[in-house]
Chain A
Amino acid sequence: MLYREAGQYKTGYTADMAVFPIAQDRAGIAIILAAVVLLPIVANDFMLQAVMIPFLVFALAAIGLNLLTGYTGLLSLGTGGFMGVGAYACYKLTTFFPEVNIVIWILVSGLFAAGVGVIFGLPSLRIKGFYLMVATLASQFFLQWCFNRVQWLYNYNASGAIEVPERYLFGWALTGARATPTVRYYVVLTIVVALTWIASNLVHGRIGRSWMAVRDMDIAAELMGIRLLPTKLLAFAVSSFYCGVAGALMVFLWYATGAEYNVFDINQSFYILSMIIIGGLGSVLGAFFGAALIYILPIALGFAVPALLAPFGLHIGADTLEHVRLIIIGALIIFFLIVEPHGLARLWQIGKHKLRMWPFPY
């Protein structure tokens, strides 16, 4: 009833090409933005620190991977490694130049990840599909080995891990143990929203279209004058930039105190990949859906399953809960793929479309 576009007239091409052509969509986005901005008023530390911050960080990494895999059609399993490059670059930068604000270094560290991404993206010129995926595994394992072995990267710390120093933003502690989740949440939110906006513009513009052309048929794209080499490498660079920033955010604003190299292991890569496939390949929105399903749902299940069993007098051990959680998540992944192979983003579109037609679907 409310979701109608009747009466909204477009008077120019720009309006017609807008990302959100319908007024209700714009209102919806505004409401969501307002809600996430106001969230810290009602949410407790757990909600911010264990749910929202990681959700945003993972969503950002998923957007990064989606630019590469979803839009350009290049499968990659190097996400964890690229995130790690961002985190370690940020650590080195902020310990070399402590006077520069950490937020700047978090963004700059993405550039280092982009550089590394371009180098490991070179094989994509000769191979694609699963072959490329396995080739990117080389970068994953090699980078992981470097994080562990090159002591210079973690400043020769006896712990062998990144020890996040305390840094401030406008007088508030932003990293370290004293930083409150609220402050960190706002900074993460700002960065993620800004980068999401950029990504959305990127994929709707010339660059995004050339990526999609390469994805859909590279030979045709080449004939149309899109040069494959720079296009693919650009995709690797931008994607790795996003992943790098996400990695830096993860260590500095989510974990906030320190992290071992193995948070960037191969499982992280699989984790992000599963987010974009479930969320929807080639959809910025899908990255958020995927991150929600893969990251938040298990946490929710951790509360919901015991709560559902409690009325029957059943108590469930922490380990059994974990097993049940795994089975449910696995089954849900398969279920969602069967229901809609193009991901939750597609499901969302269908839902919106149905709503527009309601109550007279054709």
Chain B
Amino acid sequence: MKRHLIMAGAALLVAASFAPAPAAAQDSIYVPLMTYRTGPYAGSGIPIADGMRDYLTMLNERDGGIGGVKLTVEECETGYDTKKGVECYEQIKGKNPVMNNPYSTGVTLQLIPRAAVDKIPILSMAYGLSAAAVGDTFPWVFNPPVTYWDGASVFVEHVAQKEGGLDKLKGKKIGLVYLDVPYGKEPIPLLEALSKRYGFELKLYPVAAQEMQNQGSQWLNIRRDRPDWIYLQGWGAMNPTAVKEATKIGFKMDHMVGVWWAGSDDDARGGGMEAKGYKSLNFHGYGPNFPVLQDIKKYVVDTGKSQFPKEKFGENLYNRGVYNAMLIAEAIRAAQKVTGKKVVNGEDTRKGLEALNITEARLKEMGMEGFAAPLNLACSDHSGHNKVYILEWNGTKWQKSTDWTSPMKDVVRPLLEAAAKDYVEKNAGWPKRSEACAKAS
């Protein structure tokens, strides 16, 4: 009998748990964050999640939200798993979200077609589908400030600069060490195009996802092929392993450059002093010495509202979360300006994102001078193809090693447009852009 009671209780519990959750209050803006603090990629996911959360909390604490409207920030745990991402999306969808931050290439791909139907724009900051930068084809998807293809082109520019000019690239060998999933394969088309153009040889070293921490063979291959430069497009536990392996075979560390997702402090730290010289692309400031981070410290960290370990405050991925949250906030602000409404919804934010124009003056106002480059999105350009710079590991910390560099937009843009066209062709019935182009007033 007891067991039956337990069973009945369990059944009741299950039934009760499906009762609809209370809808977000009308006088606040609902900002969902899909994050992953668990699973094999948690190491990269935690600082980003905390950075985003802390910045938005800071806005609530310091300014009382955006334009006088409080933000309701809610995290949904995806564990970097597409299955859970889909579940999260369904939870978020009904609560009138202003936008979606999927934080996983797989989930992003899944949601791209849905964005237009459900009227929820996707902000995939420097990840996801590169072709989404073409706003005429993907009005609901945004990937500022740069795409993977921009990033790879900056890497090639950096190589050219160190080698003494683009013409010196001829005959050089460039290796791409990448996580063997769609995310990792992203830069291949661009690097192939550039290798044809500049005559360098491209060597590919795929690392299977389940072999992330077992890269012996790839680095043996690298020892054999002796590439002059290496570009690392890895994620999670793959990066520190790659850095360590590189130091092991005595690869010249200053000839190894990681994409921005391979630029976590933890990625380089494992290599320690031997990893000195390892580089990573970056598009925001490093360290806690920016007014905006001091504000976060004052309003969020010191008041105990942050979950992030204090000693890691200001690390690279944390700041990336802050940058991402800044984009969210600025998009909401722009949406309020464009539409004149206080409480904006997904459709308004889409307009806001297209009208996003973060000037030098605005950056200064936000306490982000030198933290980020000015960003200007347009209806056709959803990426901005913004400037990035390169960080260098000095053994214990990252240091800025180059100035802000512009990507090769002339190479990247036509490729992106071709890719977008290809996407439309393959997805017959892809809707033509019907959304009017709103300009900032």
Direct contact of A and B (CB under 8 A): yes
Contact of B90 among A50, A158, A323 (CB under 8 A): A50
A148-B180, A177-B117 given; A260·B16 CB < 8 A: no
Contact of B38 among A164, A254, A323 (CB under 8 A): A323
Q: Is the CB of A44 within 8 A of B94?
A: yes
Contact of A50 among B35, B38, B86 (CB under 8 A): B86
User: Once the chains are docked, how many angstroms separate the CA of A279 from the CA of B96?
Assistant: 37
Contact of B110 among A95, A257, A321 (CB under 8 A): A257
User: Once the chains are docked, how many angstroms separate the CA of A296 from the CA of B17?
Assistant: 11
Q: Is the CB of A263 within 8 A of B83?
A: yes
The verdict on A153 contacting chain B, using a C-beta distance below 8 Å, is no
The verdict on B21 contacting chain A, using a C-beta distance below 8 Å, is yes
Q: Is the CB of B113 within 8 A of A258?
A: yes
| B189 neighbours in A (Cβ, 8 Å) | 158
User: Once the chains are docked, how many angstroms separate the CA of A98 from the CA of B429?
Assistant: 12
Q: Is the CB of B82 within 8 A of A318?
A: no
The verdict on B5 contacting chain A, using a C-beta distance below 8 Å, is no
Fill in one digit per residue for B11-26: 1 if any A CB lies within 8 Å of its CB, else 0: 0011011101100000
Q: Is the CB of B423 within 8 A of A163?
A: yes
User: Once the chains are docked, how many angstroms separate the CA of A301 from the CA of B116?
Assistant: 31
User: Once the chains are docked, how many angstroms separate the CA of A300 from the CA of B19?
Assistant: 10
A155-B426, A260-B182, A322-B37 given; A255·B75 CB < 8 A: no
Contact of B77 among A266, A301, A322 (CB under 8 A): A322
A177-B114, A177-B116, A322-B77 given; A158·B419 CB < 8 A: yes
The verdict on B76 contacting chain A, using a C-beta distance below 8 Å, is yes
Counting contact residues on chain A (CB < 8 A from B), the size range is: 35 or more
Q: Is the CB of B17 within 8 A of A148?
A: no
Q: Is the CB of B209 within 8 A of A166?
A: no
| A161 neighbours in B (Cβ, 8 Å) | 106, 109, 182
* A321 CB, nearest partner CB in chain B, Å: 7
Fill in one digit per residue for A36-64: 1 if any B CB lies within 8 Å of its CB, else 0: 00000000111101110010000000000
| A257 neighbours in B (Cβ, 8 Å) | 109-114
Q: Is the CB of B79 within 8 A of A50?
A: no
The verdict on B93 contacting chain A, using a C-beta distance below 8 Å, is yes
User: Once the chains are docked, how many angstroms separate the CA of A35 from the CA of B18?
Assistant: 17
Fill in one digit per residue for B90-125: 1 if any A CB lies within 8 Å of its CB, else 0: 110110000000000110011111111110000000
Fill in one digit per residue for A155-175: 1 if any B CB lies within 8 Å of its CB, else 0: 101111101111000000000
Contact of B82 among A159, A164, A263 (CB under 8 A): A263
The verdict on B217 contacting chain A, using a C-beta distance below 8 Å, is no
The verdict on B63 contacting chain A, using a C-beta distance below 8 Å, is no
User: Once the chains are docked, how many angstroms separate the CA of A155 from the CA of B125?
Assistant: 26
From 12 to 53 in chain A, residues with beta carbon under 8 angstroms from any chain B beta carbon are 44-47, 49-51
Q: Is the CB of A165 within 8 A of B37?
A: no
| A45 neighbours in B (Cβ, 8 Å) | 90, 93-94
* B436 CB, nearest partner CB in chain A, Å: 21
Q: Is the CB of A260 within 8 A of B106?
A: yes
Contact of B182 among A145, A160, A296 (CB under 8 A): A160
| A163 neighbours in B (Cβ, 8 Å) | 109, 423, 426-427
From 12 to 48 in chain B, residues with beta carbon under 8 angstroms from any chain A beta carbon are 13-14, 16-18, 20-21, 35, 37-38, 46
From 285 to 329 in chain A, residues with beta carbon under 8 angstroms from any chain B beta carbon are 296-297, 299-304, 307, 317-319, 321-323, 326
Q: Is the CB of A258 within 8 A of B109?
A: yes
Q: Is the CB of B14 within 8 A of A297?
A: yes
User: Once the chains are docked, how many angstroms separate the CA of A323 from the CA of B77?
Assistant: 11
Contact of A262 among B21, B86, B181, B426 (CB under 8 A): B181
| A160 neighbours in B (Cβ, 8 Å) | 181-182, 185
Q: Is the CB of B14 within 8 A of A300?
A: yes
The verdict on A84 contacting chain B, using a C-beta distance below 8 Å, is no
User: Once the chains are docked, how many angstroms separate the CA of A319 from the CA of B41?
Assistant: 13
From 112 to 140 in chain B, residues with beta carbon under 8 angstroms from any chain A beta carbon are 112-118, 129-131
Q: Is the CB of A259 within 8 A of B82?
A: yes
Which of B21, B77, B93, B115 gathers the greatest number of chain A CB atoms within 10 Å? B77
Q: Which residue of B lies closest to A158 (CB)?
A: B419
The verdict on A73 contacting chain B, using a C-beta distance below 8 Å, is no
Interface residue SS majority, chain A: helix
* B143 CB, nearest partner CB in chain A, Å: 13
| B208 neighbours in A (Cβ, 8 Å) | 145
The verdict on A110 contacting chain B, using a C-beta distance below 8 Å, is no
User: Once the chains are docked, how many angstroms separate the CA of A254 from the CA of B89?
Assistant: 13
The verdict on A176 contacting chain B, using a C-beta distance below 8 Å, is yes
Q: Is the CB of A262 within 8 A of B90?
A: no
Q: Is the CB of A50 within 8 A of B91?
A: yes
Fill in one digit per residue for A60-83: 1 if any B CB lies within 8 Å of its CB, else 0: 000000000000000000000000
* A147 CB, nearest partner CB in chain B, Å: 11
User: Once the chains are docked, how many angstroms separate the CA of A39 from the CA of B254?
Assistant: 61
Q: Which residue of A lies closest to B206 (CB)?
A: A149
User: Once the chains are docked, how many angstroms separate the CA of A49 from the CA of B105?
Assistant: 21
* A168 CB, nearest partner CB in chain B, Å: 10
Q: Which residue of A lies closest to B105 (CB)?
A: A260
The verdict on A10 contacting chain B, using a C-beta distance below 8 Å, is no
| B435 neighbours in A (Cβ, 8 Å) | none
Q: Is the CB of A318 within 8 A of B83?
A: no
Q: Is the CB of B82 within 8 A of A158?
A: no
From 113 to 160 in chain A, residues with beta carbon under 8 angstroms from any chain B beta carbon are 141, 145, 148-149, 155, 157-160
The verdict on B210 contacting chain A, using a C-beta distance below 8 Å, is yes
The verdict on A227 contacting chain B, using a C-beta distance below 8 Å, is no
Contact of A158 among B14, B83, B93, B131 (CB under 8 A): B131
* B435 CB, nearest partner CB in chain A, Å: 15
A177-B116, A178-B117, A322-B77 given; A159·B18 CB < 8 A: no
* A249 CB, nearest partner CB in chain B, Å: 14
Q: Which residue of A lies closest to B129 (CB)?
A: A159
Q: Is the CB of B307 within 8 A of A317?
A: yes
Q: Which residue of A lies closest to B74 (CB)?
A: A318
Which of B18, B21, B105 gathers the greatest number of chain A CB atoms within 10 Å? B18
| A49 neighbours in B (Cβ, 8 Å) | 86, 90
* A29 CB, nearest partner CB in chain B, Å: 19
* A123 CB, nearest partner CB in chain B, Å: 22
A176-B113, A258-B113, A260-B106 given; A166·B14 CB < 8 A: no
Top 7 A-B pairs, shortest CB-CB distance: A160-B182, A319-B37, A303-B17, A177-B113, A50-B90, A304-B17, A318-B75
27 examples of A-B residue contacts, CB within 8 angstroms = A44-B94, A45-B93, A46-B90, A47-B18, A158-B131, A159-B423, A160-B185, A163-B426, A164-B113, A165-B428, A166-B429, A177-B116, A178-B117, A258-B109, A261-B181, A261-B182, A263-B82, A265-B210, A299-B87, A300-B13, A304-B16, A307-B16, A317-B37, A318-B37, A319-B77, A322-B37, A323-B38
Q: A158-B129, A159-B182 are in contact. List 16 more A-B contacts (CB 8 A).
A: A46-B90, A160-B185, A164-B113, A165-B426, A176-B429, A255-B110, A260-B181, A262-B209, A265-B209, A266-B210, A300-B14, A300-B17, A303-B18, A319-B38, A321-B77, A322-B38
Chain B residues with a Cβ under 8 A of chain A: 13-14, 16-18, 20-21, 35, 37-38, 46, 75-77, 79, 82-83, 86-87, 90-91, 93-94, 105-106, 109-118, 129-131, 180-182, 185, 189, 208-210, 307, 419, 422-423, 426-429
